[in-house]
């Protein structure tokens, strides 16, 4: 297909597609002359991936270039592949060096060496930032969150990844994370609303429980 057809298929303007080509985000088409090239379904998939990373993942062009480079040369090990996905999706803004205490807390969560992985380093940095801002995440809370996220990870790291091609597995890890992180965040907000309604809203379950526990007991009318 011509670049105009690629634009029609993806909804991305021709100038933007040419920019992707110049920046190395989109691989070159098959040359058909000095000023013409043909493109195929791999280009459609790549453009859609780039748009997902930019529009949904809010990644910079520099970070998208890193993702593309990893996709073009994925590690063989599926476990290393997940680490490559996490590294590509690390926060764009510089963060403070994690404190030894934060690193030790991440290490205690396991598995061995997790404090050195991209995700482990990110967690240690987040704990450090929270502590610096005066918000201490106690061990009990951290353990509760970790158990909840373990349940999520059991779904995320699907067994089928073991037989997928490295390219497909890495694409699944990166795109799946970018597209579902907002869902997980929204689910937390929805759950908070539900618990708040039960515990804090006037007439909620906890309010009724407090009335029932008063020394004189609940009042009734005849």
φ, ψ for residue 109 (rounded to 5)? -75, -25
1-56 topology per CATH: Multidrug-efflux Transporter Regulator; Chain: A; Domain 2 (1.10.1660)
User: pLDDT value at position 168?
Assistant: 79
User: pLDDT value at position 188?
Assistant: 96
User: pLDDT value at position 60?
Assistant: 85
Tokens of 173: 């890890």
pLDDT tens digit sequence for 187-212: 999 999 999 999 998 765 555 555 45
pLDDT tens digit sequence for 97-143: 899 999 999 999 988 889 998 889 999 999 999 999 999 999 999 99
Distance CA 217, CA 222 (A): 16
Angle, CA 48 vertex, CA 79 and CA 13 arms, to 5°: 150
pLDDT tens digit sequence for 51-96: 988 888 888 888 888 888 888 887 777 778 778 778 877 777 767 7
Distance CA 190, CA 61 (A): 32
Tokens of 132: 């610096």
Distance CA 28, CA 43 (A): 9
Tokens of 136: 């201490």
């Amino acid at each position: 297909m011509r670049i105009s057809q690629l634009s029609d298929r993806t909804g991305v303007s021709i100038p933007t597609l040419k920019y992707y080509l110049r920046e190395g985000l989109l691989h070159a088409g098959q040359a058909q002359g000095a000023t013409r090239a043909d493109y195929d379904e791999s280009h459609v998939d790549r453009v859609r991936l780039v748009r997902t990373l930019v529009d949904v993942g809010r990644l910079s062009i520099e970070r998208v270039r890193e993702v593309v480079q990893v996709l073009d040369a994925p590690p063989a090990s599926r476990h290393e592949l997940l680490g490559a996905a996490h590294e590509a999706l690390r926060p764009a803004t510089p963060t403070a060096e994690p404190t030894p205490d934060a690193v030790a807390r991440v290490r205690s969560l396991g598995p061995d060496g997790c404090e050195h992985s991209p995700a482990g380093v990110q967690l240690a940095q987040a704990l450090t930032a929270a502590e610096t801002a005066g918000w201490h995440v106690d061990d009990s809370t951290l353990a509760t969150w970790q158990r909840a996220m373990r349940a999520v990870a059991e779904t995320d790291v699907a067994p089928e990844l073991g037989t997928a091609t490295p390219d497909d597995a890495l694409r699944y890890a990166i795109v799946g994370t970018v597209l579902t992180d907002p869902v997980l965040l929204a689910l937390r907000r929805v759950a908070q609303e539900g618990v708040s309604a039960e515990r804090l809203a006037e007439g909620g379950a906890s309010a009724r429980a407090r009335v029932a526990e008063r020394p004189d007991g609940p009042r009734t009318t005849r």
